[in-house]
Amino acid sequence: MLVDLRIILKFLSYIYGFFAVLRRLIYEKGLIKKKKLPVYTISVGNLSVGGTGKTPFTIYLSKLLKNKNKKVVVLSRGYKRKSKEKIIICDNDKTFSDCGDEPYLIFKNGINVVVSSDRYKAGLKAKNIFNPDIFILDDGFQHFQLHRDLNILMVDATKPFWKDNLLPYGRLREPASFYKYADIIIITKTQALQEKKLKDLEGYLKSLNKPYFFAKERFSHIVDKDGNIYDFSFFKDKKVIAFAGLGNNKQFFDIVKRYFNVEKFIEFPDHFDYKDYKFEKDKIYITTEKDLIKINQENIFAIKYEIFCDKEFEELINGIIN
């Protein structure tokens, strides 16, 4: 008789959870000392795998701080990058293959980015080159090796961590109770919720006794590979093919349906590099900026997607950094 796969996954999640808790506590209890960078350090991360909007939020937060006359450097591990260099300074001579697609997209938005699996050494090098006022750790909630002065936890409103399970049974990297290590909680993708679910969500958030803010989404325009801007009306009478390689492609496809006449959806794995994929030249394609930076073809466009928060969040950050 075959054992139910869910029972196996549930059992494995207990083992995974034991080691996740152990690893966290080793650093939190000081059994292994955290390294501290000589600059104020903010972590942006989450408890779950998959897309919660960390990259667009990191871009927003970096620009917010820059507008406050703060010099910002983002430190990223460069997930799935192809380069073997230990520390990479993202610049115009690099590509997404060198830096990783998300760090490269952050750099393309005018933000200094340094990539390394050792973010302490990357930070020291960045300090010498850029002399920043603030470091932002991209996807840093589980990067215990490095001290952070402010922990920002991102939560997908459609898949909140308190309704999820540990890997591999669910999507959680750490137990849901570890939200307690966050200083601020940012909720994304609330636009997809009905009013009752939004009220239930807010009720639960209040019980966590943490400052929380609902992020807002903005789809302002369309861009091509050269950064040229197009209004949505430019595509009004055109059929398009939508594709993406994200942690949650469905959410992107739901957005595309609002604005375009879509003849087909093509789904790729997260961080897909499109190296050997052939796009038809007589078709119009719509994708994300994260995907567009990997493709050099005239008939492919991306929706400019931005996350931002209200003035209360900006005032809180301003009070913290000054």
Q: Give the residues of the chain that fall short of pLDDT 70.
A: 1-3
Q: Is there a binding annotation on residue 78?
A: no
Tokens of 176: 């849901």
Residue 318 resides in a domain: no
The rounded distance, in Å, linking the Cα atoms of 77 and 86 is: 10
Residue 151 resides in a domain: yes
The rounded distance, in Å, linking the Cα atoms of 77 and 122 is: 9
Residue 301 resides in a domain: yes
- Say if residue 227 is in the same domain as residue 199: no
What value, to the nearest 5°, has the Cα angle with vertex 11 and ends 10 and 13?
65
DSSP 135-150: EEEET-TT-TTB--SE
DSSP 26-70: HHHTTSSPPB--SSEEEEEEESBSS-SSHHHHHHHHHHHHHHTT-
What value, to the nearest 5°, has the Cα angle with vertex 237 and ends 236 and 239?
100
Amino acid of residue 134: I
Q: Is there a binding annotation on residue 41?
A: no
Boundary of a domain, candidates 180, 199, 214: 214
Contacts of 51 (CB under 8 A, 6+ apart): 156, 246, 247, 248, 251, 270
Residue 30 resides in a domain: no
DSSP 91-107: -TT--HHHH-HHHHHHH
The rounded distance, in Å, linking the Cα atoms of 26 and 32 is: 6
Q: Is there a binding annotation on residue 17?
A: no
Q: Is there a binding annotation on residue 52?
A: yes
Q: State the pLDDT at residue 191.
A: 83
Domain membership of residue 240 as a residue range: 219-305
What pTM does this model have?
A: 0.94
Q: Is there a binding annotation on residue 54?
A: yes
Residue 23 resides in a domain: no
- Say if residue 58 is in the same domain as residue 187: yes
- Say if residue 137 is in the same domain as residue 61: yes
Residue 31 resides in a domain: no
Residue 253 resides in a domain: yes
Dihedral sign, Cα of residue 279, residue 282, residue 288, residue 293? positive
- Say if residue 161 is in the same domain as residue 276: no
Residue 226 to residues 30, 55, 67, 174, 238, Cα–Cα distance (Å): 48, 21, 25, 40, 21
- Say if residue 87 is in the same domain as residue 101: yes
Amino acid of residue 88: I
- Say if residue 55 is in the same domain as residue 150: yes
Q: Is there a binding annotation on residue 55?
A: yes
pLDDT digits (tens, 9 = 90+) for 250-299: 889 999 999 999 999 999 999 999 999 999 999 999 999 999 999 999 99
Boundary of a domain, candidates 148, 181, 214: 214
- Say if residue 59 is in the same domain as residue 200: yes
Q: Are 248 and 265 in contact (CB under 8 A)?
A: no
The rounded distance, in Å, linking the Cα atoms of 135 and 37 is: 9
Q: Is there a binding annotation on residue 123?
A: no
Residue 76 resides in a domain: yes
Q: Are 187 and 201 in contact (CB under 8 A)?
A: yes
- Say if residue 44 is in the same domain as residue 110: yes
- Say if residue 199 is in the same domain as residue 246: no
Q: Is there a binding annotation on residue 29?
A: no
- Say if residue 63 is in the same domain as residue 178: yes
- Say if residue 195 is in the same domain as residue 241: no
Boundary of a domain, candidates 162, 186, 214: 214
Please tell me the total count of domains within the chain. Answer: 2
- Say if residue 199 is in the same domain as residue 244: no
Q: State the pLDDT at residue 3.
A: 64
